[in-house]
Structure 1
Amino acid sequence: MKKFSKLIFIALSGTIMALSMVGCGSKSEQPESSNEQQAEGNSQETNESVVKVGVLLYKFDDTYISTVRQSLEKIQKENGGKVEFSFFDGKGDQATQNDSIDTLLQKGTDVLLVNLVDTGAGQTVVDKIKAADKPVVFFNREPAADVIKSYDKAVFVGTNAKEAGILQGNILSGLWEKDKANIDTNGDGKMQYVMLQGEPDNPEAVARTEYSVSTIKEKGIEVEELAKQVCNWDQALAQNATEAWVSKFGDGIEVVIANNDGMAQGAIAALQAQGFNNGEGSKTIPVVGVDATAAAQDLIDKGYMAGSVLQDAEGMAKALYSTGMNLAQGKNAIEETEYTFDETGVAVRIPYQEYTK
């Protein structure tokens, strides 16, 4: 009887140990499997949560555009894990930019920010992006409103083109009223000017050119255009043009109007080479630009440049980030933002500001 009880005890003990081992085995394997799946899930969630943004710039070496790029890079650092910007240099060539757009669309970018090389190519670019069903924010260089309206996932972020010209005109009008005796070198009561224009058909360039002059006229000041040159926003071309004008007109040039600060810098370099705008009692011919870049601000602070119009690169970048992220998430571009659309219903405008000493 004792022997039989002992056998039963041994048998029961073995069964309990076996069950215990099975229980332990399933208990130790389950968390490892769950952890691996959870890690994989988290990784996928992290990758999917990063909004991939393709930023297509008309050219990297434009001073203002490079500042917008730097501001976007700063936003990416401040919003780590939320957004990833990839920058593409159009190199001033629309065909190059089109190739970059094709590359981004093939890679499955979430949203595109496009600074067009050629605003006339807007419809072609919209059609290309629309076919891929990706949202797009055009900025700085504005296609026609009808082009943007042709796609319900397209908007524009930029400025009011004529506003920059108006502010340039205000700066020069104010200087004329304050210091007419020194500006009106020939004493004829007219403001003789030369104009450095960005591009022949660019809406920003055309508006800045037109409204800078019309604003001066509206202030009751007579004007006379001595010369105008298209310099494609380029400092070197503007310097060459101004050198030729100084040789021809000398101090008959009473003011220089430039569509951007790069060209204004070129004009100042040419003037300084001929003894103007050097300070220390030298005659200063007022030069105005647009963008209020760091280099222009330095020239203004030194008294070599009359003024500029601040185009807020940081404000532009913030608006691009906010509208782009909304579109990438299937929302209205301005939902829960400080921005509003203008009368077109598709454009957000960043205001300009005067910048003078």
Structure 2
Amino acid sequence: MKKLSILLVVVLLVSSMSMTVFAQDGGWLDNLLGDNEREDDGVIKVGFLLKTMQEERYKTDRDAFIEKAEELGADEVIFDAANNDENEQLSKFENMLTQGADVIVLQPVNTGTASNMVRKAHDSGVAVVNYDSLIMNSDVDLFLTQDSWAVGELQGEAMVEWFKENRGEVKGNVVLLRGQPGDSNANAFSQGVLDTVAEYEGLELVVDQSHEGWSPDLAMETTENALTRYDNKIDAVVANNSGMASGAVRALEAQGMADTDKVFVAGSDADLINMRYIAQGKQTIDIFKKVKPLAYEAARAAVALAKNPDRPIDEIVDITRYVDNGQVEVPTVVTEIVVVNQDNIMDTVVADGYHEATDIFSEE
């Protein structure tokens, strides 16, 4: 009886694997719909739904995506943003489905619950390209991201070098400003910082705080509280994004400590105000996650999927790696990031046309 049970399990597993392989041999649309059909109106229509326009970078995401999608043959691009409100995002996502989007590029407000939107899209035969922040526990079709896993690593490496140059040893109090609680990107960004702190006994993580909506004002408040609690003995503040780093700088300014010789400050997104802070010596580094390449790749993928529903995704898009989201290994395209400091502003954000030198070095 035991042998028969084992044999039955093996047969079921082999059958399941065979069905999976067979399903993957078809086009992506057939894999979503099965025996059902979706009417083809001959119009290439893609949606692009961001979680917010709060950060400066998202204007670039929007404009670059629309430009490239239209250049590649999209007849219509439906754009919207959700004000960091997951209920508002769900409503706008459903509206894109109603408007007949073939593919929706989605940056989720809540990476833990956005799987519901993926499921709704798939039920309608619409592919979802996951943008920037990984949607957890879903069978999302494709993930486009900058090298999120390297953000905290680069921040941590720069912090260690700063301690060596400014303190003579890697020893001091560190504040970590995380983004949205539970957000997959916030977790990915933070891990490299946590690993760095764990590697050096002299570093003490005195604050590790998440912030709703990636709020700069809440990050400023967290930094103010840390300065008060530790009698201004804060040596490093590392933020998941530029907005929160700017909040930290404002808190340090109030104490006369916004000086990179006194406190290491790192952000990520290369917003204009942060580039000015770096030029002024108030912030040490920022991570330039090149936005245009990410938006361009997302547009290419979305239009290619819309034009080729009868082909598997891995034949349409050049996959960099596969990332486990808790349910599936998601095919992923990764774009590069670089560290920006006082010495290389001109060679990075200015050379890439992300900011004008006159804007960074203005007296405003």
- TM-score normalised by L of structure 2: 0.74
User: Would the alpha carbon gap of residues 333 and 284 (structure 1) be closer, same or farther in structure 2, given more than 3 Å must change?
Assistant: farther
- SS of the aligned residue for 2:48 comes to strand
C-alpha distance in 1 between matches for 2:150 and 2:72: 35
Please list the CA deviations of residues 43-83 of structure 1 after superposition, one character each: whole Å capped at 9, or x if unmatched.
xxxxx776221111111223333331132244356x28644
Which residue does the alignment assign to 1:128?
120
User: CA-atom RMSD, angstroms?
Assistant: 2.5
Alignment of 1:1-357 (within 5 A): 51-75=44-68, 79=71, 82-144=74-136, 146-148=137-139, 154-181=141-168, 190-218=171-199, 220=200, 222-232=202-212, 233-277=214-258, 284-329=262-307, 330=309, 331-333=311-313, 335=315, 339-342=319-322, 344=329, 346-357=331-342
Contact 1:326–1:334 (8 Å) recurs in 2: no
User: Would the alpha carbon gap of residues 51 and 275 (structure 1) be closer, same or farther in structure 2, given more than 3 Å must change?
Assistant: same
Percent of aligned pairs with the same amino acid: 24
User: Would the alpha carbon gap of residues 177 and 83 (structure 1) be closer, same or farther in structure 2, given more than 3 Å must change?
Assistant: farther
User: Would the alpha carbon gap of residues 340 and 135 (structure 1) be closer, same or farther in structure 2, given more than 3 Å must change?
Assistant: same
- SS of the aligned residue for 1:62 comes to coil
User: Would the alpha carbon gap of residues 251 and 318 (structure 1) be closer, same or farther in structure 2, given more than 3 Å must change?
Assistant: same
What's the CA shift for 1:167? 0.9
C-alpha distance in 2 between matches for 1:337 and 1:204: 23
Which residue does the alignment assign to 1:43?
none
Unaligned runs of 5+ in 2: 1-40, 324-328, 343-364
What's the CA shift for 1:196? 1.0
Please list the CA deviations of residues 221-247 of structure 1 after superposition, one character each: whole Å capped at 9, or x if unmatched.
521122232223111111122122223
C-alpha distance in 2 between matches for 1:97 and 1:345: 22
- SS of the aligned residue for 1:349 comes to strand
C-alpha distance in 2 between matches for 1:119 and 1:338: 24
Which residue does the alignment assign to 1:11?
none
Contact 2:319–2:332 (8 Å) recurs in 1: no
RCO comparison, higher one (Cα < 8 Å, 6+): 2
Which residue does the alignment assign to 1:13?
none
What's the CA shift for 1:301? 2.1
What's the CA shift for 1:345? 5.0
What's the CA shift for 1:84? 3.0
Contact 1:120–1:143 (8 Å) recurs in 2: yes
Pick which of 244-253 and 126-135 moved more. 244-253
Contact 1:199–1:231 (8 Å) recurs in 2: yes
C-alpha distance in 1 between matches for 2:313 and 2:336: 18
What's the CA shift for 1:335? 4.4
Contact 2:103–2:305 (8 Å) recurs in 1: yes
What's the CA shift for 1:334? 5.7
Which residue does the alignment assign to 2:6?
none
Contact 2:72–2:303 (8 Å) recurs in 1: no
C-alpha distance in 1 between matches for 2:187 and 2:330: 23
Query: More helix per residue: 1 or 2?
Result: 1
User: Would the alpha carbon gap of residues 85 and 179 (structure 1) be closer, same or farther in structure 2, given more than 3 Å must change?
Assistant: same
Contact 1:58–1:97 (8 Å) recurs in 2: yes
Contact 2:74–2:303 (8 Å) recurs in 1: no
C-alpha distance in 1 between matches for 2:318 and 2:290: 16
C-alpha distance in 1 between matches for 2:284 and 2:178: 18
Please list the CA deviations of residues 172-216 of structure 1 after superposition, one character each: whole Å capped at 9, or x if unmatched.
0111222224xx7xxxx6221112111221121123223213124
Contact 1:55–1:87 (8 Å) recurs in 2: yes
* Counterpart residue identity of residue 246, structure 2: Q
Greater Rg over alpha carbons, structure:
1
C-alpha distance in 2 between matches for 1:295 and 1:68: 18
Runs of 4+ in 1 over 6 A off after TM superposition: none
* Counterpart residue identity of residue 145, structure 2: G
- SS of the aligned residue for 1:224 comes to strand
